[in-house]
Amino acid sequence: MSSAAESLTRTPARRAPSPAKVLRSLFWKLLFRGRAAQQAGAQKARRKLGLSMTMVMYALVGLVPALFARNVDLFVFACTLHGFTFMFASLTLASSAGTMLFMKEEAEILLHRPVTPQQMLRAKCAVLAGFALMLALALNLAGFVTGLGCKGATWRFIPAHLFSTALLMLFSASSIVLVYNACLKWFGRERLDNLLATVQSLLTVVMIMGGQIMPRVMQLDVFKHFDHITGWMLALPPLWFGALDALLSGTTLNTATLWLPAGLAVVVTALTSWLALEKLGNAYGQGLMNLNESSGTSKERTKPRGVWLAAIVKLPPLRWWLCDPVERESFKLTTAYLFRDREIKLRLYPGIAPMLIMPLVMLFSGGRGGGGEQGTMMMQGFATCFLGMVSLQALMFLGCSEHWRAAAFFHVAPLRHWTPLFHGSRKAVLFWLSFPVLILQTTLICALQHSWAPLALSLPAVMFLPTFSLVTGLIGQWLPLSKPPEDVKNTTAGCLMMGGSMTAAGIIGGLSSYMWHIGHFGLFLAVEAALMLGATILMKYLMRDTPWVPQPE
């Protein structure tokens, strides 16, 4: 007994993990598993697969700068790697940072636990930086090997580049936290939501445009052989960290010109981290309180909302287009979520941003590729018709919402069928997204080409956009905002739907350009109008034949 007692007294008590470690583990699981505890296993497996595919994609993207390593100085190659890393890994980080930094459910999870705002902010920033570093390492995987063949490179390049990449990701994470936290402090909740959606959409556009621009920039002789950093080049973060690589691992350039940018890499990262984590740490806690509380004065809260929307739907042409009262109310509900709901905006607009920018990328890339005026017109027709994907993508996101339980109201309301709800939502997408984007793109192309021909070539898209927006309803019963956000996934039916729609858009766009070239564009429009009318009638008939399934218990 005495020996047992002595062994117990000698056995140290198990120490509880520190709050910082618990918070990092919590936010890491939240980032990769999601918030749906009921489907944690399925969500975990799906997210692991998605992360693996993302890592593979980044490794393949990293082959582009890796091929640039031959016959260049290590400093130039390191700047190229950091440029790709800063563009892809950092911008991907920025697209998911807003959701992690500002989650309304945190107050319900933490409750009265003694967690300070600084601890939460540091844990979140550590998770974000770690996530970005994973992506960055995958992107730089090939560069670690090929970089050893650069001029002036030594074995020290691998640890030096690993250190500078980690520092770059810390700088990126701290900068994002600093910007978002400052915006939350100086703007209200609604303006912050709009800002987050706008920033994430712009970052998506920058990533796509950067993927087109960076390979062309690397082929410039001026970029391949520059040997010093002066003037405006000091404002480019990739050059700071590239100079740090060169100083730590070797270069053929004069190292005296690299001390200033390398010093900026260390000093600016330290300053940004201090401002984000320490200076604004207390403001972060107050900002979260403001985010979870209703904003505005009592006078503003008592002011009825939706007055402008109710007035718009009573005006022509919406009054004629929305003659069914159920469609009209579904139109108003979808419009309100498009402009007001934070979760919808953060998922929808960054999700459709690639659909908006890819047509322009295809147009200008194809225009330079040769083929003359006819080739440019072919690409323009396809780019215009490609916008049919906007409606399909938007309706996929609008089928899910954080408030999906409220969709039970549709099943107890005296509705004869689900199709009026679907038509009201798709008309809202057409009115607020598809047609305005088509007008904007056509205007831009007309201005760039100094011609009215793009205006005529957009007429086929005007005809088929309403028809293509019906395709989502063919998969099955579609109700607005009726599924949890975790259900947004690429099913086999959804992939086939998107693939078939893209193929049809390409055929219509190519035929419209060809008919314009041979002088039979008017005949083509007449045939297309007849085909689209027939397809619309057929799809509406098939949807009406889909039963109105009651809500499961």
Q: How distant, in Å, are the alpha carbons of 122, 175, 388, 408 from that of 207?
A: 27, 18, 22, 39
Flag whether pLDDT at 342 surpasses 80. Answer: no
Task: Specify burial of residue 139 (Cβ count, 10 A radius: 0-12, 13-18, 19+).
Answer: buried
Assigned token pair, 192: 């912050």
pLDDT value at residue 22: 78
Are 97 and 200 within 8 A, CB to CB? no
Q: What b/e readout covers 353-374, taking b as 16+ CB neighbours within 10 angstroms?
A: bbbbbbbbbebbebbeeeeeee
CA distance 339 to 433: 11
Q: How distant, in Å, are the alpha carbons of 38, 210, 235, 379, 521 from that of 359?
A: 40, 15, 31, 9, 22
For residues 501 and 127, the model is more confident at 127
- pLDDT tens column, 12-30: 556 667 777 777 777 777 7
Q: What percent of the chain has pLDDT over 90?
A: 10
- pLDDT tens column, 442-460: 888 788 777 787 788 888 8
- pLDDT tens column, 363-415: 665 554 444 455 566 666 666 667 777 888 888 888 888 788 888 888 888 88
CA distance 303 to 214: 50
- pLDDT tens column, 159-174: 888 999 999 888 888 8
Confidence of residue 420 (pLDDT cuts 50, 70, 90): very high
CA distance 290 to 305: 21
Q: Is the pTM of this model over 0.75?
A: no
For residues 62 and 232, the model is more confident at 62
pLDDT value at residue 90: 66
Domains in the chain: boundaries: 19-292, 307-544
pLDDT value at residue 526: 93
Are 185 and 280 within 8 A, CB to CB? yes
- pLDDT tens column, 34-92: 554 444 455 556 556 667 777 888 788 788 777 776 677 788 888 888 888 887 766 66
Flag whether pLDDT at 141 surpasses 50. Answer: yes
Flag whether pLDDT at 538 surpasses 90. Answer: yes
- pLDDT tens column, 306-339: 688 888 888 888 889 999 999 999 999 999 888 8
